[in-house]
Amino acid sequence: MANQDVASMVQGSGAYASPRQEVIIHRTVRDVGGANWPVLTRTNYGEWAVLMKVKLHARKLWRAIEEGTEDEEEDCAAMEAILSAVPRKAKAQQLRREYEALAFRDGEAVEDFSLRLQSLVSQLAAHGVTITYEEVVAKYLRVVPPKYAQIGLSIETLIDMSTLTIEDMTRRLRAVDDRVETALPAASYY
């Protein structure tokens, strides 16, 4: 049932129709749902990989895995297949490792880091892992680049961490960037 042409006739619909008032609707349906994807475990990788490859080939999704594709629908279907096959607990562990290793990239803006951090925290929550705002803010402060170290230390010592959010941290660190940017043009005249 990979590709099927489905034609149906609708009587008197008022749309463009033949003289007998029949409308022919043609639609191509590709069956990608209802797949019983094999679940990956610690001991079955070889068998799982072969089964996934066969099932993805059968649904014409293997190209999206091996080469990548511009077709967003095909890409999402392939991603859904793989994520369905990975146990929720394993995905949560992988996200937790990503969270622990998360750090600012060279030259990364505080807004961009904040979005990455929020996205990761949301994904963790979707997988049943709860991280408090206080833990997230503490993580944020642990990984700030050296140019924010002083403001980070001030925040840790002067502000109640349990009242801060990611947005508060981003706003405070962004204020440092704004001050530096406005101070530079004035300093360059001397």
> Taking the domains of the chain in order of start, what are their residue ranges?
1-31, 33-86, 88-182
Please report, rounded to a whole number, the percentage of residues in the chain having pLDDT higher than 90.
34
Q: Please write the tens of the pLDDT for every residue from 87-144.
A: 778 788 889 999 999 999 999 999 999 999 999 999 899 888 999 999 999 999 999 9
For residue 35, is pLDDT > 80?
A: no
Give CA–CA dist 28/104, Å, rounded. 46
For 92, residues 6+ apart whose C-beta sits below 8 A from its C-beta are 124, 127, 128, 129
**pLDDT attached to residue 68:** 79
Q: Model pTM?
A: 0.55
Q: Please write the tens of the pLDDT for every residue from 159-176.
A: 998 899 999 999 999 998
pLDDT category of residue 23 using cuts at 50, 70 and 90? low
Instruction: Evaluate whether 143 touches 104 at the Cβ level (below 8 Å).
Output: yes
**pLDDT attached to residue 183:** 67
